[in-house]
Structures are given as structure tokens and as C-alpha cells.
Amino acid sequence: MTTRENVRRRVWQARLLVIALLLGLIALQTFGSGLGVPQELLKSTALAGLGVAVLYLYRTPCLNCRRPLGLFAFRITGAYRQRPNEAAPHCPHCDASVDRNFPPSPR
């Protein structure tokens, strides 16, 4: 698995987390009005869920040095468009290419 594939997998996991959270909050707001759930609690839960998803992506580790990629992970996801003549991105800590295959880590 490459670091780029790892980041993409974590992006999908974060998207699913946010979608599940929002669907749960919509259902709670729609059907839970009789339960007396305050609107401020729903809003703060939504913001906290989005913050957790961003932090989850921010803490994506490099598969070589295991240090978090930080904002560099957002660049790998495609939010930053790479120029055609630009080299593939590298880890800011160990300079390993994000397209290099790494053996699966033992769990």
C-alpha cells in the first residue's frame, strides 16, 4: 500500500463518519423533538464531528516514518492540483515518496 492509497482510504472513512453523523443528527432532529433535545446540542455535535474528521485526516501517518503528515495529507488528496512537470509529493519528515509501496505493517 502506498501513502497516497492510505490517505485516500482515510478520506473515505472520514466522509462516511460525517455522513453517518449528519444522518443521525437529522433523524434525531426530525423524530427526537418529543425527547426535548436542545438545538444547541445538535449544532455543537455536528461541529465536533466535523472537527474529529479533519483531525483524523490531519493525523494520517507516513507509512515509512509513522509521523503524522499534517496539512500535507490534504495536498495528497487532490485539494491541491499538482502541475504536470512537478515531481510526486514526498513526506515532509523522511522524504519518502507518497507513491512508494510499503509492506503491510504487522498488527
- Rounded-to-5 percentages of helix, strand, coil across the chain: 55, 5, 40
**Domain residue ranges in the chain:** 3-79
What would the pLDDT profile of 2-53 be if each residue is shown by its tens digit?
888 888 888 899 889 989 998 988 888 887 767 777 878 888 888 898 899 8
Within 8 A by CB and 6+ apart from 67, the residues are: 61, 91, 93, 94
Within 10 angstroms of residue 18's Cβ, the number of other Cβ atoms is: 16
pTM for this predicted structure: 0.76
